[in-house]
Chains A and B, each alone.
Chain A
Amino acid sequence: MAIDTDKNVYTVVFAAIMVVVVGSILAFLASGLRPQIQENERFEKQQNILYAMGVNNNEGEGSVDFIPTDKVESEFSKYIKEQLVIDNGKAVPKEESYLIDLKKQLAAKKKGQDYQLPLFVGEKDGKKFYIMPMYGKGLWDAIWGFVSVDETMTVQGVYFDHKAETPGLGANIKMRYFMDDFSGETILKGTQYAGIKVAKGNNDPLNKVKDDNEVDALAGATITGNGVSAMIKETVNLYKPYLETIRTQ
């Protein structure tokens, strides 16, 4: 070939063309696929919220199976009775509040701006569930989830997920055995809101004691576990004014 690939002009032109070509391919792809991706994310949120109130397709030990995507929308409207936002301490109904990005709201709070906290009231077999979204940080990146409590501030179920925790270690926060430990734990210590701690050196690995505000930590995942503890604590503090209004004991 006759082109001199060592010339500076060639190098610059090549770099420019390459950036434009790759950039357009990626931009085209991203905008083309966005509706589909957003739909998937919407379903996922609905699935996660339902999971936290115990509406799932779990079969046997160890499985974490959601309501399938083709049914999740009807199930979501069946079980979730109210979608609220907490605005300046007052809970007001807001449609589709589950689409609110908690990360942005928390960032706004940090800057001292107005923020809204989404909250969902679910009902199953005549029992009410108050489901709160959570957002925090693990070892590598974000962790998030949902926690549901009843009027006695007893946890009814949790769902955790993560962006990039280490597989086999921190990533195990979304394993059934870890999430199931939270169910039945209370977030109260006496009358104070204490949250639930992911505790190392726990004397209660089978998690029989439900009022110690502790669950057993994951081996090799100290920082992710601390992240989960901090995330729950922050969530409980944020929602405390609302939880006070529904608490019955």
Chain B
Amino acid sequence: MFSNLFTPQAVEEALLILKTQIPLAIWETVYVTVLSTAFAIVLGLPLGVLLVVGEKNGVLPLPKGLMHALGVVINLLRSIPFLILMIMVFPLTRLIVGTTVGTVASIVPLVIAAFPFVARLVESSLREVNPNIIEAAQSMGATPLQIICKVMIPESIPSLISNATIAITTILGYSAMSGIIGGGGLGKIAINYGYYRYKFLVMLIAVILLILLVQIFQSVGTRIAVKSDKRLK
């Protein structure tokens, strides 16, 4: 498969695609990833908060049945393979976006797949908050909402940022898969040229660019997380 990777013809073709299609593909990948992550956080953050505060000994205990149902739904969504989930949510995608193909349409399954994951990440971040600090806030007469907004979330910011970085890199990987259902981006280029047309050099370039994007997201995220951590002297 790699024997005729660098024939003059292949290189020329790859350069052409690099010039004409890759810039747009990078942009599509970035915006689909960022937008999907943003929506996933909007849904996943409150859900993750509920998972922690709603427990029996939590700040705002919720009915046991509700907590159980939340857990089941999250686990259920997380256990469906993304490839299948993309197809299963077609009706919902059509309802929201009006179509099931294209870059924008791929955001819907990405969000559906990512928000339960984000909820679990938020849950693990919030569990790291020292319970004694929460008790101190209660002793000062803080309401449950004040404890969530002024204690639990601010105190776990470094961990939340680290986990947001994990989320965004994972969603970037998923977004490449959405090339299968006509979503745009580097994934589409890799699948269309590499898988369907045997243009392996183009596929290789797309993959390298994906790797670079993950590296950039990860190092920026790590840097912000470390900087936000005031526990370090």
A binds B: no
Chain A contacts to B: CB under 8 angstroms: none
Interface residues of B (CB under 8 A from A): none
